[in-house]
Amino acid sequence: MAAQPVMTAEEWFEGMRHAGPPTDDDVTILWDGRRLDSREAVMEWLAEVEAKRAEEVAAAADAAT
């Protein structure tokens, strides 16, 4: 059986419509404690994710040969 969403996207959007603006501490904090609180921090993290995915693809290709 597939999991059912707790609420629909429309319900979520309606609830967020009444939310206040984000505060200075409304940022993503990674498991290693890094805060994605700027565009530069997010871009650096995305580059790391891309590099990790490329390593995994290369490892899978090596394993297949």
Q: What is the pLDDT of residues 21-49, one digit of tens each?
A: 888 888 999 999 999 999 999 999 999 99
Q: Is residue 18 part of a domain?
A: no
Phi–psi pair at 34, nearest 5 degrees: -70, 140
Measure the CA–CA gap between 49 and 31, rounded to whole angstroms. 14
Retrieve residue 16's tokens: 């967020």
Q: Give the mean pLDDT of 2-14.
A: 82
Domain count, the chain: 1
2 pLDDT more than 80? no
Predicted confidence at residue 46, as pLDDT, reads 96
Q: Is residue 52 part of a domain?
A: yes
Q: Is the dihedral of CA 40, 12, 32, 57 positive or negative?
A: negative
Measure the CA–CA gap between 36 and 42, rounded to whole angstroms. 5
Query: Quick one: what percent of the chain has pLDDT higher than 70?
Result: 97
Q: Is residue 30 part of a domain?
A: no
Q: Is residue 3 part of a domain?
A: no
Q: For residue 44, give its domain range.
A: 38-65
Q: Is residue 15 part of a domain?
A: no
Q: Is residue 61 part of a domain?
A: yes
Q: Is the dihedral of CA 61, 46, 22, 13 positive or negative?
A: negative
